[in-house]
């Protein structure tokens, strides 16, 4: 879907431009204004300092400038100030309320600043700038880790660096525009937000009445409702016969299903109907939430990286801005969620061992072992006294399984390399505190399911051979061909292949995004993480 719409904040920008154009000069001389700024610079507390570290950063910054104001030059407003106020007025384009930064009152106060008010306005602008730059650059929520597995990747830019950056920028408007991360994808999501807000202003889309599934060849008023619904979002180009479920409607339904993570079948069943009836206001909130998530990512993901979106059950290998490989993935169940974080992939394991986590060993394997002591041998498992140490193997037939329970299970279970191994033939390792990784699987039939939330938290990848070849293709003089890898696999010997160029692995959880061509994508929030983000953003708005 492509929609090209104007900014919802345009009227506010024009009003601020008019106010600032008419702004009177301060009645203070430059030297008097510098003196007042010096007296107001916080020495531990003050008009902008919320911590001793911030107070010291401000003191150092203004001292370096001999207490010359940042936002007033010769008691007038330089382009830097008008650029900042214009950016603050457009904060809603990022899903952030301009009131978070004191707008529009701040612009009014700056326009009327004179005497002592000019120094007060200086620090009000500094406070607004630091808050805005931090929010836009790395997210308004400072503790996403508490929001159900969100681990921040980007680090907050120190205030002294933000202040030096805007002070030394040749073009403040350009500097401010470059604050958000991952600009191409971020800007596409901003455009999607503007488009859906325009849809809301135009009245949203009609609901489709409940009823039996709608399929090609059917007629009736519910078909007409479906056509009107899909016309609004651009999935359907032309209505044709209003009540006929024709080929055009089937193609439109397919487009809608594909961009909502549903299996495209061209029919409107219960799942598709539910997604079509999500109101536009809910989609707007979803876009706002995911703009915030985008801000948690590093501003630059790398020249070459693996990008995995949990909510989309999808993995991409990106090289110099181009997607060179796409694969479906299986991720954690809603009650065994895959965490979102970034790490560096260091090596690939061929013929991996699977060291069964204790929770799986005692909750899932132990009951099967009790019923059949041959279960371990039949499925390629060994019983160990010491984790990962094959030399500590124990004969399962010598164990009193009847007396073994969750609270008194002293062993470790390891699955040996082979066709039964739950990790398949490949493991892609990226050290992390969550002990999750990307791996192959013998259960390939699950890749045909939509969605794919079936694992215990690790990620299973489709086409692991293809991914391995792409990651290893430019090292060791090209020795890692498909034939070479298959020969190693055939030995069933555990083999570690280090990556000469470790690659960034970004695991995200995005329930909305926009593709390069403007197509807006939505996914169901099966982990129920969206409400926590929305609530946290509301708390921030109430606290400022």
pLDDT by 10s per residue, the chain, length 544: 333 223 344 334 434 443 444 444 445 667 777 787 777 775 433 445 567 888 888 889 999 999 999 998 876 789 999 999 999 999 999 999 999 999 999 999 898 776 667 888 898 999 999 999 999 999 998 877 766 567 766 778 999 999 999 999 999 999 999 999 877 889 999 999 999 999 999 999 999 999 999 999 999 999 999 999 999 999 999 999 999 999 999 999 999 999 999 999 999 999 999 999 999 999 999 999 999 999 998 888 999 999 999 999 999 999 998 999 999 999 999 999 999 999 999 999 999 999 999 999 999 999 999 999 899 999 999 999 999 999 999 999 999 998 898 899 999 999 999 999 999 999 999 999 999 999 999 999 999 998 999 999 999 999 999 999 999 998 999 999 999 999 999 999 999 999 999 999 999 999 999 998 999 999 999 999 999 999 999 888 887 7
| Residue 121 is assigned to a structural domain of this protein | yes
Helix (H, G, I), strand (E, B) or coil at 349: strand
Last residue of a domain, one of 136, 154, 183: 183
Boundaries of domain holding 382: 355-415
SS3 per residue for 442-506: CCHHHHHCCCCEEECCCEEECCHHHHHHHHHCCCHHHCCCHHHHHHHHHHCCCEEEEEEEEEEEE
Say yes or no: 21 and 141 in one domain: yes
**183, 205, 221 — which closes off a domain?**
183
- Measured CA to CA, the distance from residue 415 to residue 354 in angstroms comes to 5
Contact 148, 532 (CB under 8 A): yes
Question: Does residue 504 lie in a domain region?
Answer: yes
> In residues, how long is the chain?
544
Query: How does strand 459-461 pair with strand 322-332?
Result: antiparallel
* 436 and 382 assigned to the same domain: no
Q: Which residues of 514-543 are buried (b: 16+ CB within 10 A; e: fewer)?
A: beeeebbbbbbbbbebbebbbebbeebeee
Q: Give residue 113's pLDDT.
A: 76
Among 73, 126, 120, which residue's Cα sits nearest to residue 101?
126
In a domain, 5, yes or no: no
Tens digits of per-residue pLDDT, 211-264? 999 999 999 999 999 999 999 999 999 999 999 999 999 999 999 999 999 999
Domain count, the chain: 3
What is the per-residue pLDDT for 425?
Answer: 98
- The answer as to whether 444 is a domain residue is yes
Residues 410 and 506 in one domain: no
pLDDT at 28: 60
Q: Which of 378, 398, 415 is the last residue of a domain?
A: 415
Q: What is the DSSP letter of 337?
A: P
One domain for residues 333 and 460:
yes
Q: Are residues 467 and 331 in the same domain?
A: yes
| Same domain membership, residue 21 and residue 76 | yes
Residue 445: CB atoms within 10 A of its CB come to 8
Does residue 329 form part of some domain?
yes
Q: Are residues 176 and 73 in the same domain?
A: yes
Cβ pair 235, 1 in contact under 8 A: yes
- For residues 444 and 398, membership in a common domain is answered with no
Domain CATH for 466: 2.40.440.10
pLDDT digits (tens, 9 = 90+) for 426-454: 999 999 999 999 999 999 999 999 899 99
The reply to whether 85 and 15 lie within a common domain is: yes
Whether residue 456 sits in one domain with residue 397: no
Residue 241 lies in a domain: no
Q: Do 482 and 368 fall into the same domain?
A: no
Indicate whether 464 belongs to any domain: yes
On whether residue 197 sits in a domain, the answer given is: no
Whether residue 378 sits in one domain with residue 425? no
Residue 488 is predicted with a pLDDT of 98
């Amino acid at each position: 879907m492509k929609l090209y719409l104007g900014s919802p904040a345009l009227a506010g920008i024009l009003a601020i431009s008019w106010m600032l154009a008419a702004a009177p000069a301060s009645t203070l001389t430059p030297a008097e204004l510098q003196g007042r700024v010096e007296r107001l610079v916080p020495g531990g507390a003050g008009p902008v300092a919320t911590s001793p570290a911030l107070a010291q950063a401000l003191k150092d910054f203004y001292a370096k400038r001999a207490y010359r104001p940042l936002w007033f030059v010769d008691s007038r407003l330089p382009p830097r100030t008008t650029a900042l106020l214009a950016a603050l007025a457009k904060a809603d384009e990022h899903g952030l309320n301009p009131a978070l930064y004191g707008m529009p009152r701040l612009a009014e106060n700056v326009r009327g600043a004179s005497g002592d008010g000019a120094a007060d306005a200086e620090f009000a602008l500094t406070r607004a700038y630091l808050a805005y730059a931090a929010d836009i650059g790395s997210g308004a929520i400072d503790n996403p880790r508490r929001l159900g597995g969100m681990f921040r990747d980007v680090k907050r830019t120190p205030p002294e660096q933000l202040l030096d950056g805007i002070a030394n920028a040749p073009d403040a408007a350009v500097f401010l525009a470059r604050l958000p991360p991952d600009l191409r994808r971020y800007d596409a999501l901003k455009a999607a937000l503007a488009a859906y807000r325009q849809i809301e202003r135009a009245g949203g889309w009609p609901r489709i009445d409940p009823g039996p599934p709608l399929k090609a060849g059917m007629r009736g008023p519910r078909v007409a409702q479906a056509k009107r619904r899909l016309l609004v979002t651009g999935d359907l180009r032309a209505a044709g016969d209003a009540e006929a479920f024709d080929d055009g409607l089937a193609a439109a339904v397919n487009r809608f299903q594909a961009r909502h993570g549903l299996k495209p079948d061209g029919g409107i069943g219960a799942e598709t109907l539910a997604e079509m009836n999500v109101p536009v206001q809910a989609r707007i909130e979803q876009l706002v939430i995911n703009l915030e998530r985008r801000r948690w990512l590093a501003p630059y993901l790398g020249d070459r990286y693996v990008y995995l979106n949990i909510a989309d059950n999808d993995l991409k290998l990106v090289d110099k801005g181009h997607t060179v490989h796409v694969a479906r993935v299986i991720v954690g169940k809603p009650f065994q969620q895959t965490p979102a974080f970034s790490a560096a992939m260091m090596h690939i394991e061929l013929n991996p061992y699977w060291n069964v986590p204790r929770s799986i060993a005692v909750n899932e394997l132990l009951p099967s072992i009790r019923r059949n002591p041959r279960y371990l041998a039949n499925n390629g498992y060994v019983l160990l006294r010491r984790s990962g140490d094959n030399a500590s193997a124990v004969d399962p037939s010598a164990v009193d399984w009847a007396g073994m329970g969750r609270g008194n299970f002293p062993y470790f279970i390891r699955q040996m390399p082979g066709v039964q191994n739950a990790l398949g033939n490949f493991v892609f390792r990226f050290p992390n505190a969550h002990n999750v990784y990307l791996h192959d699987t013998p259960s390939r039939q699950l890749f045909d399911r939509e969605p794919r939330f079936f694992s215990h938290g690790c990620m299973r990848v489709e086409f692991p051979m293809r991914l391995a070849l792409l990651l290893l293709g430019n090292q060791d003089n090209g020795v890692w061909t498909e034939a070479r890898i298959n020969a190693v696999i055939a030995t069933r010997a555990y083999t570690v292949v280090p990556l000469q160029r470790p690659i960034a692995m970004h695991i995200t959880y995005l329930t909305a995004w926009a593709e390069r061509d403007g197509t807006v994508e939505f996914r169901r929030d099966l982990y129920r993480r969206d409400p926590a983000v929305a609530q946290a953003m509301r708390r921030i708005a109430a606290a400022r």
